[in-house]
Amino acid sequence: MGSWDCMEVLGLRFATARFQAAIVFSQTSSRRSAVMKWLVIGLTVLLAALTLWLGVAGEVLITPAAPLGIVSYELAFDAGISQAILDSWSGHPRDMALLIQGVDYLYLMVYPLWFALCSMLLGRKLGGGWYQTGRGVAGLSLLAAPLDAIENYALIQQLLYGANGSLAKLAYWTAVPKFLVVMVGAAFISGAIARYLLNTFLSQENTTQQ
C-alpha cells in the first residue's frame, strides 16, 4: 500500500471516528438535557409543596411585633427588635418557628438548584446573550444556599438562647443578599419565559403568513 493509500485510509478512519464521536456527544447531550428537564420537574413539585407548607405554617408567626412573620425576624438587625419578636412568639409559635427553620434547611437545597437549572435551560433554549446571562444567574443562584444556611444558624441560636445583637446582624446581612439573589433569579426566569413565548408566537405568525 502506497503512502497516498495510507493517507486515504487514515483520513477515512479519522472522519469515521469524528462522526461516531459526534453521535455519542449528541446522544449524551440529549440525555443530559432530558435528565435536567425531569430534575426541574421534580424540583418544581417539591419546591411548590415546601413553599405552600412554609407559607401556611408561617401564618402563626404574624404578630404586631412581626407583621411579616419570619421575614420580620430575618430582617430584625437589632437585638431589641429580635427580642420583641421572640416574646410575641411564646409557646406554640416559638416551636413552629424552630420547625420552620429546620425545614428551611431542606428548602435551601431545593430553591437555589431550581433557579440555577431553570436559568441554564432557558438560557440554552434562547441562545446568544441569554445563554451567557443564564449561566451567570445560575452560578449566582447557588450562592443563596450558604447564605440561607448561615442565616438559619443565627436565627435558630436566638430562638434557643434569646436575642443577640451580633447574631441579629449576621441574620440580616445574609438575608438581604439572599433575597437579592432570589429576585435576580426570578427576574431572569420571568424575562426568559416571556421572551420564549414571544419567539414562539412570532414563529407561528410567520408560518401562518407563509
Q: What is the pLDDT along the chain (210 residues), one digit of tens a residue?
A: 554 454 454 444 544 445 444 444 445 566 777 777 788 899 999 999 999 999 999 999 999 999 999 999 999 999 999 999 999 999 999 999 999 999 999 999 999 999 999 999 999 888 889 999 999 999 999 999 999 999 999 999 999 999 999 999 999 999 999 999 999 999 999 999 999 998 888 777 666 665
What's the pTM? 0.80
Burial 179-197 (b: 16+ CB within 10 A, else e): eebbebbeebbeebeeeee
* Residue 189 parent element (H or E): helix 165-209
Listed by start position, the domains of the chain span 32-209
